[in-house]
Amino acid sequence: MLKHIAVRLQKAHHGEIGFSLKNATVVNASLEKRDPALKNLQEGLNRKGLQYTVDGCDLYWFQIDDQRPLSFYAALNEVECVFDSGWFEAEKEKIRHMAGIRYFDASAGLADHFDIKDQRRAIDYDVSSVAA
C-alpha cells in the first residue's frame, strides 16, 4: 500500500535508511516541494500546532510502499502524520477545479483529519547500525 508519511529526522537520508530497515520502499521524497496540496496540508498542520523543528529534528515527507498498516507508522514516535496515498489523491481530485485562496483553504483544511502529537517530545530513532 502506498502511503504519505511525515517523519521527524536529523537528516533526510535517515528516512531512506529507516524505511529500508522496515522493508519499505521509498517511492518519492520531498513531496511537499512539488505538490501544492501537500504543502498546503502541511501549512494547515502548522496552524494546528505542528512545529517546524522538534528536538532538533526537521520534518520530511516521503511516499513509501509496503504492506504495514497505517497504525504501525502512526504509533512511531518520529512519525507526525501518515495516510493512504490513494485517499490523498481522491481528496485532491475533489478540489482540483479550485484556485487561489479556495484551493489553499480546501487543501490546508485536510489537516483537520489529523491530530498533532506533543511537540515537546524527544525524538528517538536509531539508524546507527547502518549509517556512519
Average pLDDT, integer, range 63-82: 97
Mean predicted lDDT score pLDDT of the chain: 94
Q: What is the crossing angle of helices 85-95 and 36-47, to 10°?
A: 100
pLDDT for residue 69 is more than 50:
yes
Q: Of 128 and 97, which is predicted with more confidence?
A: 97
Q: What is the pLDDT of residue 131?
A: 45
DSSP the chain: -EEEEEEEESSTHHHHHHHHHTT-EEEEE-GGGT-HHHHHHHHHHHHTT--SEETTEEEEEEEEE-SS-HHHHHTSTTEEEEEEHHHHHHHHHHHTT--HHHHHHHHHGGGGGSPPPPTTSPP----TTT--
| In the predicted structure, residue 132 carries a pLDDT above the cut 80 | no
Whole-structure pTM value: 0.92
Place 129 in a pLDDT band, splitting at 50, 70 and 90. low
